[in-house]
Amino acid sequence: MAPGCQSDLSTLPPAGGHDAPLLHATMAMGTRFEIALPRWQASQPRLQSVAEVVMDDIRHWHEVLSGFAPDSWLNHLHRAAVGRAGPVRADRAVFDLLARCEAARVASGGCFDIAVGHLMARHGLRSSASEAIADQTVGDPPADLPADLPRERWITLDPDRLTVLLAPGVRLDFGAVAKGFALDMARSTLADLGIASCLLHGGTSSVLALGSPTPPGSAAPRAAGWAVTLGGPGGRRLLLHNASLSVSAPSGRTAGSAHHIMDPRLGRPADRPPALAATVADSGLQAEIWSTVAIVSQGRHPATPVGVLVAVADAPGDSPHNRHHPRDIHPPPVPGHVLRWRADNDPLTWVDEP
C-alpha cells in the first residue's frame, strides 16, 4: 500500500463508548473506505442510515469507474472502442469528470493524463486477478498507440449529446482520481442528509474531512478539525477542516523496478519521483489530480490552481530538487525529510506536539 495518512481517532473516546464516533466501512475500488460520524449530530439509527447511504454511493461509483469491475461503465466504454461501436453515453457527473480530467491534462502540460492504460500494461502494472478478468472481457490494451494519432484525438467528448468516444486502443485508468471523485459525490450526499461533521477516507490516501469531531463551539483541542498524520506513525500531523487530502507515492503498486505513477509525456514511470506528495484542496478530484502532477513534476507545478496546497517529501538523503519553491516553508525542514509547503490560502494547520 502506498504511504497515506492515519486519522487521529486515538484521541477520540474508545470504540463502543457513548461518545465514540459511529464507524462504517466497505470495500470498493480495490481498497477499504471507512467513515467516522460523530454521534452528537444525530441518533444512532440515523447515523447508521447515513453511513449506509454513503457507502452505497461509493460502491455505485466503483461499478461505474473501476477498471477492476468487468461490467463497469468504464469497461463498457473500452469494449465500444475495441469494437468500434461508436460514442458511448455518459451521465452528467461522469461526463463532467472526464472534461475536468482533460482540462487538467492540458493545464499540467501532460503531467496528468487518465489515458495511460496502455502504459500500465507495457510496464506490467495490470496484473491483478480482477484486472485480468476485466481484460479478458475487453481485450488487452496495446503496448503502444499509433504514433500518428495526436493525443487530442484519443478522447472525443460531445457536451451536447453527453457522449464519449475513445480511439481504438485507448484505455483509461482513473486510479486514485476515481476515489477523489467518489469522495466529492459523497460530500454532496452528506450535505443533502444534513451531516456537517465526518471523516471519510479511501485506503487512507484519499481523505474527506468535514467539520470536526467535536460539536460547534467546543473548546476541546480537536475542535479545529480532524487530525491526520502524513505517512503513518512518526509523520507530520495536521488538522483538516472542510477539506480533501490526497497522498501520492511511487512506492505503492510496483512491477519489478517500475512504479505505478506514469509520466505520460515520456511514456514510462516518472523519473526521480519524490517519496511522497500530499495535496489539500476543496475538491477530492482536484487534490488527486495535483498530487499526481506533483510526483511527475517533482514538486508543485506552476499551473497548480490557487488554493490547492502541495507538500513534497524527498527520500532521506536526497537534496531538494523542487524547481518551484513555495513562498514559505512551514514547518522548517528536518534532516533527511524535506517538506515544502505552499502557504497561500492555507486551510491547514500543522500540529507540532506529539
Confidence (pLDDT) at 123: 65
Residue 22 CB contacts under 8 Å (≥ 6 apart), including other chains = 36, 37, 39, 44, 47, 48, 51
Tens of pLDDT along the chain (354 residues) come to: 345 555 544 344 444 445 689 999 999 998 999 999 999 999 999 999 999 999 999 999 999 999 878 899 999 999 998 888 899 999 999 999 999 999 999 999 999 999 988 787 776 655 444 454 455 555 555 555 667 788 888 999 999 999 999 998 888 999 999 999 999 999 999 999 999 999 999 988 899 999 989 888 776 656 678 888 776 555 667 788 899 999 888 776 654 556 668 888 888 888 877 778 888 899 999 999 999 999 998 887 888 888 888 888 775 323 223 323 332 223 333 332 323 333 333 344 444 333
C-alpha cell at 10: 486515538
Single-letter residue type at 140: D
Which of 94, 134, 97 minimizes the C-alpha distance to 117? 134
Measure the CA–CA gap between 284 and 100, rounded to whole angstroms: 12
pLDDT of residue 120: 78
Closest residue by Cα to residue 170 from 72, 81, 299, 46: 81
**Domains of the chain by start residue, with CATH:** 5-60+188-351 (3.10.520.10), 73-176 (1.10.3980.10)
- 309 with 346: CB under 8 angstroms? yes
Q: Tell me what pLDDT residue 2 has.
A: 44
What pLDDT was estimated at residue 329? 28
In this predicted structure, what is the pLDDT of residue 342? 32
Grid cell locating 34: 471507512
Sheet harboring 5-7: ordered strands across?
Answer: 5-7, 226-230, 237-240, 349-351
Parallel, antiparallel, or unpaired: how do β-strands 262-263 and 309-313 relate? unpaired
Amino acid 12: pLDDT: 46
Closest listed residue to residue 257, CA positions, set 246, 267, 270, 239: 270
Closest-CA residue to 195 (of 207, 209, 178, 181): 209
| pTM score of the predicted model | 0.82
SS3 category, 278: strand
The arrangement of strands across the sheet holding 163-166 comes to: 88-89, 163-166, 155-158
Radius of gyration in angstroms for the set of CA atoms belonging to the chain, rounded to a whole number: 20
Q: What's the confidence (pLDDT) of residue 252?
A: 62
- 246 Cβ contact partners less than 8 Å away, ≥ 6 residues apart: 176, 180, 205, 206, 207, 278, 279, 281, 284, 287, 288, 290, 291
